Amino acid sequence: MARILILFSTTDGHTVKICRRLQERIEQDGHQATLVSVADAPGPDLDAFDKIVIGASIRYGKHGKAVVEFINANRQLLERKPNAFFSVNIVARKPEKSDPETNPYLQKFLRQIAWRPGRLAVFAGKLDYPRYGAFDRFMIRLIMLITKGPTDPATVIEFTDWNKVEDFGRVISEM
C-alpha cells in the first residue's frame, strides 16, 4: 500500500471533483490517498508520502500562482518520489487539445517550471456560466466565442471524460 498525496488548485471547484474521483480509484486499488489544497500546503509532511500528484485548473490561460510557487519550493522533493501533474481546462474539450503533448496551456506551464513530472494528464473542465460573476461570465463567453464554444449564459456543461480520469487513477496507482 502506498501513501499518495493529491495536491490541488481549483478555481471553481471542478478540479476537486476530479481529485475525489482519482482518490476513489486509487483507494479501490488498495492505496491511501490524501487530498490537500495547494493553498494549505505544506500542510502535511510531504516526506510522509510515497507519491505526489498535483492537479491544477486554468483561469485566463494560467495555472494558479500558488501551484508554481509550491512546485518551485518543493522541486527536489518532488523529483525524489514518483509524481504526476494534471491540468484541468476547457480547451481540452477539443480532441486535438486533450493530450499533454497537444494542450497549449500545459505545454506553456511546463516551459515556465523546471520540474518535469513523471506522468502528465489533461482533463476537460466544466463550463458553468450561472455560477460565474459578471466579469468572469463576460470574459469566458468572449473566449468561448473566439474558440467556437458555447456562449449561452445559461449553459452548464461538464466536458470531463471520467473514463480518462479513472485511467489516470490507475496510472497513479501503478507508478
pLDDT digits (tens, 9 = 90+) for 31-57: 999 999 998 766 678 889 999 999 999
Name the percent of the chain lying above pLDDT 70: 98
Query: Which pLDDT does position 60 carry in this prediction?
Result: 82
The average confidence (pLDDT) of the chain is 93
> Mean pLDDT, to the nearest integer, of 85-114?
95
For residues 36 and 59, membership in a common domain is answered with: yes
Query: Which pLDDT does position 39 carry in this prediction?
Result: 84
CA–CA gap between residue 46 and residue 60 (Å, rounded): 30
For residues 28 and 64, membership in a common domain is answered with: yes
Count of domains observed in the chain: 2
Name the percent of the chain lying above pLDDT 90: 84
The bridge status of strand 51-59 relative to strand 119-124 is unpaired
Confidence class for position 126, pLDDT limits 50, 70, 90 = very high
For residues 116 and 153, membership in a common domain is answered with: no
Q: Give the contacts of 43 (CB within 8 A, at least 6 positions apart).
A: 36
Task: Give the domain CATH number at 31.
Answer: 3.40.50.360
For residues 101 and 21, membership in a common domain is answered with: yes
CA–CA gap between residue 147 and residue 154 (Å, rounded): 18
Query: Which pLDDT does position 40 carry in this prediction?
Result: 75
Q: Give the contacts of 82 (CB within 8 A, at least 6 positions apart).
A: 50, 51, 52, 118, 175
Query: Which pLDDT does position 9 carry in this prediction?
Result: 94
For residues 147 and 166, membership in a common domain is answered with: no
For residues 86 and 152, membership in a common domain is answered with: no
For residues 63 and 135, membership in a common domain is answered with: no
Query: Which pLDDT does position 118 carry in this prediction?
Result: 97
Asked if pLDDT for residue 28 goes beyond 70, the answer is: yes
Enclosing domain of residue 139: 127-159
Query: Which pLDDT does position 12 carry in this prediction?
Result: 87
For residues 138 and 60, membership in a common domain is answered with: no
For residues 102 and 136, membership in a common domain is answered with: no
Query: Which pLDDT does position 134 carry in this prediction?
Result: 94
Asked if pLDDT for residue 153 goes beyond 70, the answer is: yes
Strand spans (E) along the chain: 3-9, 32-37, 51-59, 62-63, 83-89, 119-124, 126-128, 156-158
